[in-house]
Structure 1
Amino acid sequence: MPGSTNGSTKTMGALTAGTLVLVTAYTVTLGSNGWLWFGWVVLGLLTLAAIVVRS
Protein backbone atom coordinates (compact mmCIF):
# COMPACT_ATOMS: atom_id res chain seq x y z
CA MET A 1 0.00 0.00 0.00
CA PRO A 2 1.63 3.31 -1.05
CA GLY A 3 2.43 5.75 1.72
CA SER A 4 2.36 3.17 4.49
CA THR A 5 5.30 1.88 6.45
CA ASN A 6 5.90 -1.64 7.65
CA GLY A 7 6.75 -2.68 11.19
CA SER A 8 10.52 -2.59 10.77
CA THR A 9 10.44 0.96 9.42
CA LYS A 10 8.24 2.07 12.32
CA THR A 11 10.62 0.37 14.75
CA MET A 12 13.57 2.13 13.13
CA GLY A 13 11.76 5.47 13.47
CA ALA A 14 11.05 4.81 17.14
CA LEU A 15 14.69 3.84 17.69
CA THR A 16 15.83 7.05 16.01
CA ALA A 17 13.51 9.17 18.17
CA GLY A 18 14.58 7.34 21.34
CA THR A 19 18.22 7.77 20.45
CA LEU A 20 17.66 11.50 19.97
CA VAL A 21 16.26 11.71 23.50
CA LEU A 22 19.24 9.80 24.91
CA VAL A 23 21.84 11.83 23.02
CA THR A 24 20.16 15.07 24.11
CA ALA A 25 20.08 13.91 27.75
CA TYR A 26 23.75 12.94 27.55
CA THR A 27 24.62 16.34 26.08
CA VAL A 28 22.71 18.21 28.79
CA THR A 29 24.21 16.09 31.57
CA LEU A 30 27.82 15.53 30.54
CA GLY A 31 28.44 17.88 27.63
CA SER A 32 28.46 17.47 23.89
CA ASN A 33 30.01 14.48 22.19
CA GLY A 34 30.43 14.94 18.45
CA TRP A 35 30.52 11.21 17.73
CA LEU A 36 27.13 10.68 19.37
CA TRP A 37 25.57 13.43 17.28
CA PHE A 38 27.27 12.12 14.14
CA GLY A 39 25.90 8.66 14.85
CA TRP A 40 22.42 10.05 15.40
CA VAL A 41 22.53 11.97 12.12
CA VAL A 42 23.61 8.82 10.27
CA LEU A 43 20.81 6.84 11.94
CA GLY A 44 18.32 9.57 11.05
CA LEU A 45 19.42 9.57 7.42
CA LEU A 46 19.16 5.79 7.25
CA THR A 47 15.66 5.94 8.73
CA LEU A 48 14.65 8.63 6.24
CA ALA A 49 16.06 6.56 3.38
CA ALA A 50 14.13 3.49 4.56
CA ILE A 51 10.90 5.48 4.68
CA VAL A 52 11.48 6.89 1.18
CA VAL A 53 12.30 3.49 -0.26
CA ARG A 54 9.21 1.88 1.33
CA SER A 55 6.89 4.61 0.02
Structure 2
Amino acid sequence: MSSSPKSMGVLTVGTLVVVTAYSAALGSNGWLWFGWVVLLMATVGTAATSRGH
Protein backbone atom coordinates (compact mmCIF):
# COMPACT_ATOMS: atom_id res chain seq x y z
CA MET A 1 0.00 0.00 0.00
CA SER A 2 3.02 2.28 0.35
CA SER A 3 3.17 2.82 -3.42
CA SER A 4 -0.25 4.52 -3.47
CA PRO A 5 0.91 7.95 -2.18
CA LYS A 6 3.97 7.76 -4.43
CA SER A 7 1.90 7.00 -7.54
CA MET A 8 -0.57 9.74 -6.62
CA GLY A 9 2.35 12.15 -6.28
CA VAL A 10 3.61 11.22 -9.74
CA LEU A 11 0.09 11.66 -11.15
CA THR A 12 -0.24 15.06 -9.45
CA VAL A 13 3.08 16.32 -10.82
CA GLY A 14 2.25 14.97 -14.29
CA THR A 15 -1.13 16.67 -14.20
CA LEU A 16 0.53 19.93 -13.16
CA VAL A 17 2.79 19.72 -16.22
CA VAL A 18 -0.18 19.07 -18.51
CA VAL A 19 -2.30 21.88 -17.03
CA THR A 20 0.64 24.31 -17.25
CA ALA A 21 1.30 23.37 -20.89
CA TYR A 22 -2.39 23.73 -21.72
CA SER A 23 -2.50 27.14 -20.06
CA ALA A 24 0.61 28.30 -21.92
CA ALA A 25 -0.67 27.10 -25.28
CA LEU A 26 -4.40 27.83 -25.14
CA GLY A 27 -4.92 30.15 -22.21
CA SER A 28 -5.76 29.55 -18.59
CA ASN A 29 -8.78 27.49 -17.66
CA GLY A 30 -9.97 27.95 -14.07
CA TRP A 31 -11.68 24.55 -13.95
CA LEU A 32 -8.43 22.78 -14.83
CA TRP A 33 -6.60 24.57 -12.05
CA PHE A 34 -9.44 23.87 -9.62
CA GLY A 35 -9.30 20.18 -10.55
CA TRP A 36 -5.55 20.15 -10.03
CA VAL A 37 -5.88 21.73 -6.58
CA VAL A 38 -8.47 19.08 -5.63
CA LEU A 39 -6.08 16.36 -6.84
CA LEU A 40 -3.26 17.96 -4.85
CA MET A 41 -5.37 17.97 -1.69
CA ALA A 42 -6.31 14.32 -2.22
CA THR A 43 -2.62 13.46 -2.65
CA VAL A 44 -1.66 15.31 0.51
CA GLY A 45 -4.45 13.57 2.41
CA THR A 46 -3.37 10.16 1.16
CA ALA A 47 0.25 10.84 2.07
CA ALA A 48 -0.73 12.03 5.55
CA THR A 49 -2.96 9.00 6.11
CA SER A 50 -0.37 6.48 4.99
CA ARG A 51 2.36 8.16 7.07
CA GLY A 52 0.28 7.52 10.17
CA HIS A 53 0.32 3.77 9.56
TM-score normalised per structure 2? 0.92
Structure richer in helix, relative to its length: 2
Stretches of structure 1 lacking an aligned partner (at least 5 in a row): none
Q: CA RMSD in A?
A: 1.1
Stretches of structure 2 lacking an aligned partner (at least 5 in a row): none
Distance 2:30 2:49 in 1: 28
TM-superposed deviation, 1:12 = 0.5
TM-superposed deviation, 1:9 = 1.1
TM-superposed deviation, 1:49 = 0.4
Runs of 4+ aligned structure 1 residues displaced above 6 Å come to none
Q: Give the aligned partner of residue 52 of structure 1.
A: 48
Distance 1:6 1:53 in 2: 11
TM-superposed deviation, 1:34 = 0.4
Of structures 1 and 2, the one with the larger relative CO (CA 8 A, separation 6+) is 1
Report how many residues are paired. 51
